Structure 1
Amino acid sequence: MAAVLLVMLGAEIAGALLDRPVDGDGFRVWGGVAETGLALLSLAALTPVVFLAARWAQRRPAGTLSSVTGRLRRRWLGRCLAMGLPLVAGSFGIMTLLPDPGGTDEVAWAGLQDFLLGLAMVCALVPFQAAAEEYAFRGWLTQAVGAWFRSPWVAIVPQALLFAAAHGWGTPWGFADLVVFGVVAGVLTVRTGGLEAAIGLHVLNNLLSMGVSAAIAGALASEETAADMPWTAVGVDIVMLCGYTVLILRVAGRRGIEAMGVGAPRTRT
Protein backbone atom coordinates (compact mmCIF):
# COMPACT_ATOMS: atom_id res chain seq x y z
CA MET A 1 0.00 0.00 0.00
CA ALA A 2 2.84 2.40 0.81
CA ALA A 3 4.40 1.80 -2.60
CA VAL A 4 1.10 2.51 -4.33
CA LEU A 5 0.67 5.71 -2.33
CA LEU A 6 4.16 6.83 -3.35
CA VAL A 7 3.30 6.31 -7.02
CA MET A 8 0.04 8.25 -6.57
CA LEU A 9 1.85 11.03 -4.71
CA GLY A 10 4.43 11.28 -7.46
CA ALA A 11 1.67 11.46 -10.06
CA GLU A 12 -0.08 14.24 -8.11
CA ILE A 13 3.12 16.25 -7.78
CA ALA A 14 3.96 15.83 -11.47
CA GLY A 15 0.37 16.68 -12.38
CA ALA A 16 0.52 19.88 -10.33
CA LEU A 17 3.80 20.90 -11.95
CA LEU A 18 2.38 20.25 -15.42
CA ASP A 19 -0.94 21.87 -14.50
CA ARG A 20 -3.04 18.81 -15.31
CA PRO A 21 -6.83 19.14 -14.83
CA VAL A 22 -8.49 17.98 -11.61
CA ASP A 23 -11.43 15.55 -11.35
CA GLY A 24 -14.40 15.77 -8.99
CA ASP A 25 -12.45 14.10 -6.19
CA GLY A 26 -9.57 16.55 -6.41
CA PHE A 27 -7.10 14.20 -8.13
CA ARG A 28 -5.05 15.15 -11.16
CA VAL A 29 -6.35 13.66 -14.41
CA TRP A 30 -3.81 12.29 -16.86
CA GLY A 31 -6.18 10.58 -19.24
CA GLY A 32 -5.90 7.67 -21.63
CA VAL A 33 -2.56 5.93 -21.90
CA ALA A 34 -1.02 7.85 -19.00
CA GLU A 35 -3.74 6.66 -16.58
CA THR A 36 -3.15 3.06 -17.62
CA GLY A 37 0.59 3.56 -17.24
CA LEU A 38 0.14 4.82 -13.69
CA ALA A 39 -2.03 1.80 -12.84
CA LEU A 40 0.63 -0.58 -14.21
CA LEU A 41 3.36 1.28 -12.35
CA SER A 42 1.40 1.04 -9.10
CA LEU A 43 1.14 -2.73 -9.50
CA ALA A 44 4.81 -3.04 -10.42
CA ALA A 45 5.64 -1.35 -7.11
CA LEU A 46 4.46 -4.52 -5.34
CA THR A 47 7.71 -6.31 -6.15
CA PRO A 48 10.00 -4.41 -3.77
CA VAL A 49 7.28 -4.60 -1.12
CA VAL A 50 7.13 -8.41 -1.17
CA PHE A 51 10.94 -8.57 -1.28
CA LEU A 52 11.10 -6.47 1.88
CA ALA A 53 8.37 -8.60 3.49
CA ALA A 54 10.40 -11.75 2.87
CA ARG A 55 13.64 -10.16 4.05
CA TRP A 56 12.44 -8.33 7.13
CA ALA A 57 9.26 -10.09 8.26
CA GLN A 58 10.21 -13.68 7.41
CA ARG A 59 13.98 -13.32 7.90
CA ARG A 60 14.94 -15.06 4.67
CA PRO A 61 16.70 -14.03 1.46
CA ALA A 62 14.40 -12.15 -0.90
CA GLY A 63 15.70 -14.27 -3.75
CA THR A 64 13.92 -17.32 -2.36
CA LEU A 65 10.69 -15.78 -3.61
CA SER A 66 11.94 -16.31 -7.16
CA SER A 67 12.92 -19.98 -6.99
CA VAL A 68 14.41 -22.71 -4.83
CA THR A 69 17.84 -21.71 -6.17
CA GLY A 70 17.51 -18.29 -4.51
CA ARG A 71 17.39 -16.41 -7.80
CA LEU A 72 15.33 -15.94 -10.93
CA ARG A 73 16.49 -18.55 -13.44
CA ARG A 74 16.62 -16.30 -16.50
CA ARG A 75 17.43 -18.96 -19.07
CA TRP A 76 14.49 -21.05 -17.87
CA LEU A 77 12.29 -17.95 -17.98
CA GLY A 78 13.38 -17.37 -21.56
CA ARG A 79 12.47 -20.94 -22.49
CA CYS A 80 9.07 -20.58 -20.86
CA LEU A 81 8.45 -17.41 -22.87
CA ALA A 82 9.50 -19.12 -26.10
CA MET A 83 7.30 -22.16 -25.44
CA GLY A 84 4.32 -20.09 -24.38
CA LEU A 85 4.34 -17.51 -27.18
CA PRO A 86 2.75 -19.65 -29.93
CA LEU A 87 0.16 -21.04 -27.51
CA VAL A 88 -0.88 -17.67 -26.08
CA ALA A 89 -0.79 -15.95 -29.49
CA GLY A 90 -2.78 -18.75 -31.10
CA SER A 91 -5.47 -18.76 -28.43
CA PHE A 92 -5.70 -14.98 -28.50
CA GLY A 93 -6.06 -15.02 -32.26
CA ILE A 94 -8.92 -17.51 -32.02
CA MET A 95 -10.64 -15.46 -29.31
CA THR A 96 -10.55 -12.33 -31.46
CA LEU A 97 -12.45 -14.20 -34.18
CA LEU A 98 -15.19 -15.34 -31.80
CA PRO A 99 -18.38 -13.26 -31.50
CA ASP A 100 -18.63 -11.17 -28.35
CA PRO A 101 -22.10 -11.64 -26.82
CA GLY A 102 -22.04 -8.15 -25.31
CA GLY A 103 -20.05 -6.41 -28.01
CA THR A 104 -21.98 -3.55 -29.59
CA ASP A 105 -19.34 -0.83 -29.98
CA GLU A 106 -17.54 -0.41 -33.27
CA VAL A 107 -13.77 -0.80 -33.21
CA ALA A 108 -11.82 2.25 -34.41
CA TRP A 109 -8.11 2.58 -35.19
CA ALA A 110 -6.30 4.55 -32.48
CA GLY A 111 -4.02 6.29 -34.94
CA LEU A 112 -0.32 5.65 -35.49
CA GLN A 113 0.96 8.08 -32.86
CA ASP A 114 -1.38 6.88 -30.11
CA PHE A 115 -0.74 3.26 -31.05
CA LEU A 116 3.04 3.61 -30.86
CA LEU A 117 2.83 5.53 -27.59
CA GLY A 118 0.50 2.96 -26.05
CA LEU A 119 2.57 0.03 -27.33
CA ALA A 120 5.76 1.55 -25.92
CA MET A 121 4.09 1.99 -22.53
CA VAL A 122 2.79 -1.60 -22.58
CA CYS A 123 6.17 -3.07 -23.52
CA ALA A 124 7.97 -1.01 -20.88
CA LEU A 125 5.65 -1.60 -17.92
CA VAL A 126 3.65 -4.80 -18.43
CA PRO A 127 6.56 -7.21 -17.76
CA PHE A 128 7.14 -5.54 -14.38
CA GLN A 129 3.41 -5.42 -13.58
CA ALA A 130 2.86 -9.08 -14.45
CA ALA A 131 5.96 -10.19 -12.56
CA ALA A 132 4.88 -8.16 -9.52
CA GLU A 133 1.53 -9.94 -9.38
CA GLU A 134 3.31 -13.31 -9.57
CA TYR A 135 5.69 -12.35 -6.77
CA ALA A 136 2.74 -11.26 -4.64
CA PHE A 137 0.35 -14.17 -5.24
CA ARG A 138 2.47 -17.15 -6.36
CA GLY A 139 5.60 -16.02 -4.57
CA TRP A 140 5.06 -14.51 -1.14
CA LEU A 141 1.43 -15.52 -0.46
CA THR A 142 1.76 -19.11 -1.69
CA GLN A 143 5.00 -19.65 0.20
CA ALA A 144 3.74 -18.00 3.39
CA VAL A 145 0.66 -20.25 3.53
CA GLY A 146 2.31 -23.35 2.10
CA ALA A 147 5.03 -23.34 4.74
CA TRP A 148 2.45 -24.41 7.32
CA PHE A 149 0.87 -27.31 5.43
CA ARG A 150 2.06 -30.48 3.75
CA SER A 151 -0.40 -30.28 0.85
CA PRO A 152 0.38 -27.48 -1.63
CA TRP A 153 -3.30 -27.22 -2.54
CA VAL A 154 -4.02 -25.51 0.77
CA ALA A 155 -1.95 -22.61 -0.54
CA ILE A 156 -2.70 -22.85 -4.28
CA VAL A 157 -6.50 -22.64 -4.14
CA PRO A 158 -6.88 -19.62 -1.79
CA GLN A 159 -4.30 -17.54 -3.66
CA ALA A 160 -6.09 -18.32 -6.95
CA LEU A 161 -9.39 -17.08 -5.52
CA LEU A 162 -7.76 -13.93 -4.15
CA PHE A 163 -6.00 -13.35 -7.48
CA ALA A 164 -9.33 -13.53 -9.31
CA ALA A 165 -11.03 -11.24 -6.78
CA ALA A 166 -8.23 -8.68 -7.13
CA HIS A 167 -9.23 -8.20 -10.78
CA GLY A 168 -12.74 -7.15 -9.85
CA TRP A 169 -16.13 -8.79 -10.20
CA GLY A 170 -17.02 -9.02 -13.87
CA THR A 171 -18.76 -11.97 -15.45
CA PRO A 172 -18.93 -15.36 -13.69
CA TRP A 173 -17.06 -16.78 -16.68
CA GLY A 174 -14.30 -14.23 -16.39
CA PHE A 175 -13.92 -14.87 -12.67
CA ALA A 176 -13.75 -18.63 -13.28
CA ASP A 177 -11.09 -18.14 -15.95
CA LEU A 178 -8.98 -16.06 -13.57
CA VAL A 179 -9.29 -18.75 -10.90
CA VAL A 180 -8.08 -21.36 -13.39
CA PHE A 181 -5.19 -19.06 -14.34
CA GLY A 182 -4.27 -18.70 -10.67
CA VAL A 183 -4.42 -22.45 -10.09
CA VAL A 184 -2.29 -23.14 -13.19
CA ALA A 185 0.28 -20.54 -12.17
CA GLY A 186 0.34 -21.97 -8.64
CA VAL A 187 0.80 -25.55 -9.82
CA LEU A 188 3.60 -24.52 -12.19
CA THR A 189 5.32 -22.61 -9.40
CA VAL A 190 5.21 -25.59 -7.04
CA ARG A 191 6.11 -28.22 -9.63
CA THR A 192 9.03 -26.26 -11.16
CA GLY A 193 10.29 -24.75 -7.92
CA GLY A 194 10.07 -21.16 -9.09
CA LEU A 195 8.04 -18.33 -10.61
CA GLU A 196 9.56 -18.39 -14.10
CA ALA A 197 6.81 -20.40 -15.83
CA ALA A 198 4.06 -18.36 -14.18
CA ILE A 199 5.77 -15.06 -14.97
CA GLY A 200 6.28 -16.09 -18.59
CA LEU A 201 2.60 -16.97 -19.00
CA HIS A 202 1.41 -13.80 -17.29
CA VAL A 203 3.72 -11.51 -19.26
CA LEU A 204 2.78 -13.04 -22.61
CA ASN A 205 -0.92 -12.87 -21.84
CA ASN A 206 -0.84 -9.23 -20.79
CA LEU A 207 1.55 -8.08 -23.52
CA LEU A 208 -0.58 -9.54 -26.30
CA SER A 209 -3.93 -8.43 -24.93
CA MET A 210 -2.81 -4.90 -24.06
CA GLY A 211 -0.66 -4.60 -27.17
CA VAL A 212 -3.74 -5.21 -29.32
CA SER A 213 -5.74 -2.81 -27.14
CA ALA A 214 -3.18 -0.11 -27.91
CA ALA A 215 -4.30 -0.25 -31.54
CA ILE A 216 -7.97 0.36 -30.67
CA ALA A 217 -9.16 3.86 -29.86
CA GLY A 218 -9.92 4.18 -26.14
CA ALA A 219 -9.29 0.51 -25.36
CA LEU A 220 -6.30 1.09 -23.07
CA ALA A 221 -8.30 3.60 -21.05
CA SER A 222 -11.17 1.14 -20.59
CA GLU A 223 -11.87 -0.09 -17.07
CA GLU A 224 -12.56 -3.63 -18.29
CA THR A 225 -10.27 -6.37 -17.00
CA ALA A 226 -9.86 -10.08 -17.58
CA ALA A 227 -12.75 -10.54 -15.14
CA ASP A 228 -15.06 -9.24 -17.89
CA MET A 229 -14.15 -12.03 -20.32
CA PRO A 230 -17.20 -13.38 -22.20
CA TRP A 231 -18.14 -17.05 -22.03
CA THR A 232 -17.24 -17.58 -25.68
CA ALA A 233 -13.55 -16.99 -24.96
CA VAL A 234 -13.19 -18.86 -21.68
CA GLY A 235 -13.09 -22.34 -23.19
CA VAL A 236 -10.32 -21.36 -25.61
CA ASP A 237 -8.30 -19.77 -22.83
CA ILE A 238 -8.62 -22.75 -20.49
CA VAL A 239 -7.50 -25.15 -23.25
CA MET A 240 -4.44 -22.94 -23.78
CA LEU A 241 -3.69 -22.86 -20.05
CA CYS A 242 -3.87 -26.65 -19.82
CA GLY A 243 -1.68 -27.05 -22.90
CA TYR A 244 0.91 -24.65 -21.50
CA THR A 245 0.95 -26.53 -18.21
CA VAL A 246 1.51 -29.91 -19.85
CA LEU A 247 4.26 -28.53 -22.10
CA ILE A 248 6.12 -26.75 -19.31
CA LEU A 249 5.98 -29.71 -16.94
CA ARG A 250 7.24 -32.11 -19.61
CA VAL A 251 10.18 -29.90 -20.54
CA ALA A 252 10.93 -29.14 -16.89
CA GLY A 253 11.04 -32.87 -16.17
CA ARG A 254 13.39 -33.53 -19.07
CA ARG A 255 15.73 -30.73 -18.04
CA GLY A 256 15.74 -31.66 -14.37
CA ILE A 257 14.06 -28.44 -13.26
CA GLU A 258 12.30 -29.61 -10.12
CA ALA A 259 10.96 -28.22 -6.88
CA MET A 260 13.88 -29.04 -4.58
CA GLY A 261 14.41 -28.01 -1.01
CA VAL A 262 17.34 -26.33 0.65
CA GLY A 263 20.50 -28.35 0.35
CA ALA A 264 19.42 -30.25 -2.76
CA PRO A 265 21.53 -30.07 -5.92
CA ARG A 266 21.00 -26.97 -8.01
CA THR A 267 18.73 -27.34 -11.03
CA ARG A 268 20.03 -27.09 -14.57
CA THR A 269 18.97 -23.91 -16.33
Structure 2
Amino acid sequence: MYIEQAYKGLHDWWRYVLGLLLIIIAVFLGQIPLTIAFFFKAWQNGDELTLLNEQNIMSLLEPNLNLFLMLLSFAAGLVGLFFVVKQVHEQSLVSVTTARPKMDWRRVWFAFLLWGIISTSFIVLDFYVTPENYVLNFNVVPFIILCVIAVVMIPLQTSFEEYLFRGYLMQGIGVVTKTKWIPLLTTSVVFGLLHIANPEIDQLGYVVMVYYIGTGLFLGIMTLMDDGMELALGFHAANNLFTALLVTADWTAFQTHSLFKDVSEPEVAGFMDVFMPVFVVFPIILFVFSKKYKWTNWQSKLIGPVQKPIQNDNQNV
Protein backbone atom coordinates (compact mmCIF):
# COMPACT_ATOMS: atom_id res chain seq x y z
CA MET A 1 0.00 0.00 0.00
CA TYR A 2 1.02 3.59 -0.54
CA ILE A 3 2.38 4.77 2.83
CA GLU A 4 4.19 1.47 3.33
CA GLN A 5 6.30 2.30 0.26
CA ALA A 6 8.48 4.36 2.62
CA TYR A 7 9.83 1.12 4.05
CA LYS A 8 11.61 0.57 0.74
CA GLY A 9 14.04 3.32 1.78
CA LEU A 10 15.74 4.60 4.91
CA HIS A 11 12.88 5.83 7.07
CA ASP A 12 14.34 6.96 10.41
CA TRP A 13 12.42 9.93 11.86
CA TRP A 14 15.48 12.18 11.85
CA ARG A 15 15.90 11.67 8.11
CA TYR A 16 12.52 13.29 7.54
CA VAL A 17 13.46 16.22 9.78
CA LEU A 18 16.75 16.64 7.91
CA GLY A 19 15.04 16.14 4.57
CA LEU A 20 12.37 18.75 5.30
CA LEU A 21 15.08 21.24 6.33
CA LEU A 22 16.98 20.66 3.07
CA ILE A 23 13.79 21.07 1.04
CA ILE A 24 13.03 24.37 2.78
CA ILE A 25 16.56 25.56 2.03
CA ALA A 26 16.09 24.63 -1.64
CA VAL A 27 12.86 26.66 -1.77
CA PHE A 28 14.57 29.69 -0.22
CA LEU A 29 17.41 29.43 -2.72
CA GLY A 30 14.84 29.35 -5.50
CA GLN A 31 13.31 32.57 -4.15
CA ILE A 32 16.56 34.54 -4.45
CA PRO A 33 16.01 35.64 -8.10
CA LEU A 34 12.49 36.91 -7.27
CA THR A 35 13.75 38.76 -4.19
CA ILE A 36 16.57 40.39 -6.15
CA ALA A 37 14.13 41.42 -8.89
CA PHE A 38 11.75 42.97 -6.34
CA PHE A 39 14.50 44.95 -4.62
CA PHE A 40 15.97 46.11 -7.93
CA LYS A 41 12.60 47.24 -9.29
CA ALA A 42 11.70 49.01 -6.07
CA TRP A 43 15.07 50.80 -6.06
CA GLN A 44 14.64 51.69 -9.74
CA ASN A 45 11.21 53.18 -9.02
CA GLY A 46 12.45 54.99 -5.93
CA ASP A 47 9.90 53.18 -3.74
CA GLU A 48 10.27 53.00 0.02
CA LEU A 49 10.44 49.26 0.77
CA THR A 50 8.92 49.76 4.21
CA LEU A 51 5.83 51.31 2.61
CA LEU A 52 5.22 48.50 0.13
CA ASN A 53 2.37 46.16 0.96
CA GLU A 54 1.79 42.75 -0.59
CA GLN A 55 -0.42 44.16 -3.34
CA ASN A 56 2.19 46.74 -4.36
CA ILE A 57 4.98 44.18 -4.33
CA MET A 58 3.01 41.85 -6.60
CA SER A 59 2.54 44.68 -9.10
CA LEU A 60 6.19 45.74 -9.21
CA LEU A 61 7.14 43.23 -11.89
CA GLU A 62 5.65 42.49 -15.27
CA PRO A 63 3.09 39.66 -14.71
CA ASN A 64 4.83 37.03 -16.84
CA LEU A 65 8.20 37.72 -15.25
CA ASN A 66 6.63 37.75 -11.81
CA LEU A 67 4.90 34.41 -12.46
CA PHE A 68 8.06 32.77 -13.76
CA LEU A 69 10.22 33.93 -10.86
CA MET A 70 7.54 33.00 -8.32
CA LEU A 71 7.22 29.48 -9.74
CA LEU A 72 11.00 29.11 -9.85
CA SER A 73 11.13 28.57 -6.09
CA PHE A 74 8.75 25.61 -6.41
CA ALA A 75 10.90 24.11 -9.17
CA ALA A 76 13.93 24.45 -6.91
CA GLY A 77 11.97 22.83 -4.09
CA LEU A 78 11.06 19.90 -6.35
CA VAL A 79 14.72 19.36 -7.24
CA GLY A 80 15.60 19.53 -3.55
CA LEU A 81 12.86 17.05 -2.67
CA PHE A 82 14.01 14.57 -5.31
CA PHE A 83 17.59 14.93 -4.00
CA VAL A 84 16.41 14.22 -0.45
CA VAL A 85 14.45 11.14 -1.51
CA LYS A 86 17.38 9.69 -3.43
CA GLN A 87 20.29 10.69 -1.18
CA VAL A 88 18.89 10.97 2.36
CA HIS A 89 16.35 8.13 2.16
CA GLU A 90 17.85 6.04 -0.67
CA GLN A 91 14.30 5.59 -1.93
CA SER A 92 13.13 5.46 -5.53
CA LEU A 93 10.97 8.28 -6.91
CA VAL A 94 8.46 5.69 -8.12
CA SER A 95 7.86 4.44 -4.57
CA VAL A 96 7.18 8.02 -3.40
CA THR A 97 4.76 8.45 -6.27
CA THR A 98 2.77 5.23 -6.27
CA ALA A 99 2.47 1.69 -4.94
CA ARG A 100 2.22 0.49 -8.54
CA PRO A 101 5.32 -0.89 -10.33
CA LYS A 102 5.52 2.34 -12.33
CA MET A 103 3.74 5.66 -12.56
CA ASP A 104 0.34 5.41 -14.28
CA TRP A 105 0.21 8.38 -16.64
CA ARG A 106 -3.29 7.47 -17.76
CA ARG A 107 -4.51 8.31 -14.27
CA VAL A 108 -2.68 11.64 -14.35
CA TRP A 109 -4.25 12.62 -17.68
CA PHE A 110 -7.72 11.42 -16.71
CA ALA A 111 -7.77 13.56 -13.57
CA PHE A 112 -6.22 16.49 -15.46
CA LEU A 113 -8.81 16.43 -18.25
CA LEU A 114 -11.74 15.75 -15.91
CA TRP A 115 -11.03 18.68 -13.61
CA GLY A 116 -9.94 20.87 -16.51
CA ILE A 117 -13.32 20.40 -18.17
CA ILE A 118 -15.27 20.85 -14.90
CA SER A 119 -13.38 23.94 -13.72
CA THR A 120 -13.55 25.56 -17.17
CA SER A 121 -17.29 24.87 -17.27
CA PHE A 122 -17.75 26.64 -13.94
CA ILE A 123 -15.87 29.69 -15.23
CA VAL A 124 -17.83 29.76 -18.49
CA LEU A 125 -21.12 29.41 -16.58
CA ASP A 126 -20.21 32.24 -14.24
CA PHE A 127 -19.24 34.40 -17.22
CA TYR A 128 -22.65 33.94 -18.81
CA VAL A 129 -24.54 34.45 -15.54
CA THR A 130 -22.58 37.56 -14.47
CA PRO A 131 -20.84 38.96 -17.58
CA GLU A 132 -20.49 42.34 -15.90
CA ASN A 133 -17.88 40.80 -13.58
CA TYR A 134 -15.47 40.09 -16.43
CA VAL A 135 -13.50 42.09 -18.96
CA LEU A 136 -11.54 40.73 -21.90
CA ASN A 137 -7.86 40.70 -20.94
CA PHE A 138 -6.49 38.98 -24.04
CA ASN A 139 -3.25 40.28 -25.54
CA VAL A 140 -1.66 37.93 -28.08
CA VAL A 141 2.07 38.14 -27.33
CA PRO A 142 1.85 38.26 -23.49
CA PHE A 143 -0.72 35.44 -23.58
CA ILE A 144 1.53 33.21 -25.70
CA ILE A 145 4.41 33.85 -23.30
CA LEU A 146 2.06 33.07 -20.40
CA CYS A 147 1.08 29.78 -22.04
CA VAL A 148 4.72 28.72 -22.36
CA ILE A 149 5.53 29.67 -18.76
CA ALA A 150 2.35 28.10 -17.40
CA VAL A 151 2.63 24.82 -19.29
CA VAL A 152 6.26 24.35 -18.23
CA MET A 153 6.34 25.82 -14.72
CA ILE A 154 2.90 25.30 -13.16
CA PRO A 155 3.12 21.47 -13.31
CA LEU A 156 6.46 21.81 -11.49
CA GLN A 157 4.80 23.95 -8.82
CA THR A 158 1.85 21.63 -8.32
CA SER A 159 4.04 18.53 -8.48
CA PHE A 160 6.27 19.96 -5.75
CA GLU A 161 3.27 20.54 -3.49
CA GLU A 162 1.93 17.05 -4.17
CA TYR A 163 5.25 15.30 -3.71
CA LEU A 164 5.84 17.25 -0.49
CA PHE A 165 2.43 16.83 1.15
CA ARG A 166 0.78 13.77 -0.39
CA GLY A 167 4.10 12.02 -0.98
CA TYR A 168 7.08 12.74 1.27
CA LEU A 169 5.26 13.97 4.38
CA MET A 170 2.32 11.57 4.02
CA GLN A 171 4.69 8.61 3.95
CA GLY A 172 7.08 10.03 6.55
CA ILE A 173 4.44 10.88 9.16
CA GLY A 174 2.73 7.57 8.42
CA VAL A 175 5.75 5.36 9.11
CA VAL A 176 6.69 7.39 12.19
CA THR A 177 3.20 7.39 13.78
CA LYS A 178 2.19 3.97 12.35
CA THR A 179 -1.19 5.48 11.44
CA LYS A 180 -2.91 6.71 8.28
CA TRP A 181 -5.38 9.21 9.68
CA ILE A 182 -2.69 11.31 11.36
CA PRO A 183 -0.71 11.99 8.15
CA LEU A 184 -3.96 12.48 6.24
CA LEU A 185 -5.23 15.16 8.62
CA THR A 186 -1.83 16.71 9.34
CA THR A 187 -0.81 17.18 5.73
CA SER A 188 -4.27 18.53 4.85
CA VAL A 189 -4.23 21.14 7.62
CA VAL A 190 -0.62 22.21 6.96
CA PHE A 191 -1.32 22.38 3.23
CA GLY A 192 -4.24 24.68 3.93
CA LEU A 193 -2.39 26.84 6.46
CA LEU A 194 0.47 27.48 4.04
CA HIS A 195 -2.05 29.31 1.83
CA ILE A 196 -2.90 31.70 4.67
CA ALA A 197 -0.48 34.29 3.24
CA ASN A 198 -2.32 34.34 -0.11
CA PRO A 199 -3.93 37.72 -0.91
CA GLU A 200 -7.29 35.95 -1.26
CA ILE A 201 -7.40 35.58 2.52
CA ASP A 202 -7.23 39.36 3.05
CA GLN A 203 -9.99 39.96 0.53
CA LEU A 204 -12.35 37.05 1.16
CA GLY A 205 -11.80 36.27 4.82
CA TYR A 206 -10.56 33.25 6.75
CA VAL A 207 -13.58 31.24 5.68
CA VAL A 208 -11.55 30.50 2.52
CA MET A 209 -9.36 28.26 4.69
CA VAL A 210 -12.24 25.77 4.58
CA TYR A 211 -11.59 25.48 0.85
CA TYR A 212 -7.80 25.15 1.15
CA ILE A 213 -7.87 22.59 3.96
CA GLY A 214 -10.78 20.78 2.33
CA THR A 215 -8.84 20.58 -0.93
CA GLY A 216 -5.86 19.12 0.93
CA LEU A 217 -8.11 16.52 2.55
CA PHE A 218 -9.69 15.71 -0.82
CA LEU A 219 -6.27 15.19 -2.43
CA GLY A 220 -5.09 13.13 0.54
CA ILE A 221 -8.12 10.83 0.41
CA MET A 222 -7.62 10.45 -3.32
CA THR A 223 -3.98 9.46 -2.81
CA LEU A 224 -4.59 6.93 -0.05
CA MET A 225 -7.57 5.30 -1.73
CA ASP A 226 -5.81 5.01 -5.09
CA ASP A 227 -2.47 3.93 -3.59
CA GLY A 228 -0.67 6.65 -5.49
CA MET A 229 -0.43 10.35 -6.27
CA GLU A 230 -1.22 10.17 -9.99
CA LEU A 231 -4.80 11.43 -9.67
CA ALA A 232 -3.76 14.20 -7.27
CA LEU A 233 -0.95 15.26 -9.60
CA GLY A 234 -3.31 15.56 -12.54
CA PHE A 235 -6.07 17.33 -10.61
CA HIS A 236 -3.76 19.89 -9.00
CA ALA A 237 -1.99 20.71 -12.27
CA ALA A 238 -5.30 21.26 -14.06
CA ASN A 239 -6.66 23.42 -11.23
CA ASN A 240 -3.76 25.89 -11.29
CA LEU A 241 -3.05 25.79 -15.03
CA PHE A 242 -6.58 26.49 -16.24
CA THR A 243 -7.05 29.18 -13.60
CA ALA A 244 -3.85 30.96 -14.63
CA LEU A 245 -4.78 30.88 -18.32
CA LEU A 246 -8.47 31.75 -18.08
CA VAL A 247 -9.08 34.29 -15.30
CA THR A 248 -7.04 36.66 -13.20
CA ALA A 249 -7.88 39.34 -10.64
CA ASP A 250 -5.97 42.05 -8.82
CA TRP A 251 -6.48 40.30 -5.48
CA THR A 252 -5.37 36.74 -6.34
CA ALA A 253 -2.02 35.00 -5.94
CA PHE A 254 -1.78 34.37 -9.69
CA GLN A 255 -1.91 37.71 -11.52
CA THR A 256 -1.44 36.84 -15.17
CA HIS A 257 -2.09 37.90 -18.77
CA SER A 258 -5.09 35.56 -18.80
CA LEU A 259 -7.97 35.60 -21.26
CA PHE A 260 -10.29 37.38 -18.83
CA LYS A 261 -10.00 39.53 -15.75
CA ASP A 262 -12.45 39.39 -12.87
CA VAL A 263 -13.25 43.00 -11.97
CA SER A 264 -15.93 42.25 -9.39
CA GLU A 265 -15.51 43.50 -5.85
CA PRO A 266 -14.12 40.72 -3.64
CA GLU A 267 -16.60 39.69 -1.01
CA VAL A 268 -16.67 37.24 1.84
CA ALA A 269 -16.76 33.87 0.11
CA GLY A 270 -20.11 32.17 0.25
CA PHE A 271 -21.49 28.75 -0.46
CA MET A 272 -20.64 28.72 -4.19
CA ASP A 273 -17.01 29.78 -3.64
CA VAL A 274 -16.03 27.70 -0.63
CA PHE A 275 -18.54 25.15 0.55
CA MET A 276 -19.94 23.82 -2.71
CA PRO A 277 -16.55 22.58 -4.04
CA VAL A 278 -15.56 20.98 -0.73
CA PHE A 279 -18.89 19.44 0.25
CA VAL A 280 -20.55 18.83 -3.12
CA VAL A 281 -18.15 18.80 -6.08
CA PHE A 282 -15.19 17.02 -4.48
CA PRO A 283 -17.29 14.15 -3.05
CA ILE A 284 -18.83 13.62 -6.49
CA ILE A 285 -15.36 13.46 -8.06
CA LEU A 286 -14.24 10.96 -5.41
CA PHE A 287 -17.32 8.89 -6.23
CA VAL A 288 -16.43 8.95 -9.95
CA PHE A 289 -12.87 7.88 -9.22
CA SER A 290 -14.02 5.18 -6.82
CA LYS A 291 -16.23 3.62 -9.48
CA LYS A 292 -13.69 3.91 -12.28
CA TYR A 293 -10.80 2.50 -10.24
CA LYS A 294 -12.88 0.16 -8.03
CA TRP A 295 -11.81 1.52 -4.66
CA THR A 296 -12.59 -0.71 -1.68
CA ASN A 297 -11.65 -0.98 2.02
CA TRP A 298 -12.15 2.73 2.70
CA GLN A 299 -11.82 2.39 6.46
CA SER A 300 -8.59 0.40 6.28
CA LYS A 301 -6.99 2.69 3.71
CA LEU A 302 -7.91 5.95 5.44
CA ILE A 303 -7.71 5.23 9.17
CA GLY A 304 -6.10 1.80 9.43
CA PRO A 305 -2.66 1.14 10.93
CA VAL A 306 0.59 1.34 8.98
CA GLN A 307 2.45 -1.94 9.21
CA LYS A 308 5.93 -2.73 8.00
CA PRO A 309 5.78 -5.35 5.20
CA ILE A 310 6.94 -8.74 6.46
CA GLN A 311 9.29 -9.25 3.54
CA ASN A 312 11.25 -6.17 4.58
CA ASP A 313 11.84 -7.21 8.20
CA ASN A 314 15.31 -8.58 7.57
CA GLN A 315 16.40 -5.92 5.12
CA ASN A 316 18.68 -3.07 6.09
CA VAL A 317 16.25 -0.25 5.36
Shared fold, TM over 0.5: yes
Deviation of 1:179 (Å): 0.8
Is the 1:184–1:241 contact (alpha carbons within 8 Å) kept by the matching residues of 2? yes
Q: Which residue of 1 aligns with 2:274?
A: 234
- CA–CA separation in structure 1 for the residues paired with 2:273 and 2:122: 9
The equivalent residue for 1:72 is 103
Q: Please show how residues 79-98 of structure 1 align to structure 2 within 5 Å.
A: 79-94=110-125
Q: How does 1:1-269 map to 2 (within 5 A)?
A: 1-10=24-33, 21=44, 24-25=48-49, 30-69=61-100, 71-94=102-125, 107=135, 109-169=137-197, 170=201, 171-213=205-247, 220-221=254-255, 230-231=269-270, 232-238=272-278, 239-253=280-294
Deviation of 1:210 after TM superposition, in Å, equals 1.0
Letter in 1 for 2:100: T
Note the C-alpha offset of 1:178. 0.9
CA shift for structure 1 position 88:
2.9
TM-score, normalized by length of structure 2? 0.65
Q: In the TM superposition, what is the alpha-carbon distance from 1:94 to its structure 2 partner?
A: 4.2
- Partner of residue 15, structure 2: none
Query: 1:200, CA displacement in angstroms?
Result: 1.1
Contact 2:107 2:230 in 1 (8 A): yes
Question: Which sections of structure 2, spanning at least 5 residues, go unmatched?
Answer: 1-23, 51-56, 257-266, 296-300, 302-307, 312-317
Q: TM-score, normalised by structure 1?
A: 0.76
The higher radius of gyration belongs to: 2
Contact 1:123 1:207 in 2 (8 A): yes
Q: How many residue pairs were aligned? A: 249
Shift of residue 80 of structure 1? Answer: 2.4
Quick one: distance in 1 between partners of 2:171 and 2:122? 31
Aligned residue type for 1:251: K
5+ residue gaps, structure 1, are 223-227, 265-269
- Change in CA separation of 1:177 and 1:217 when aligned onto 2, cut-off 3 Å: closer
Q: Amino acid of the residue matched to residue 221 of structure 2?
A: V
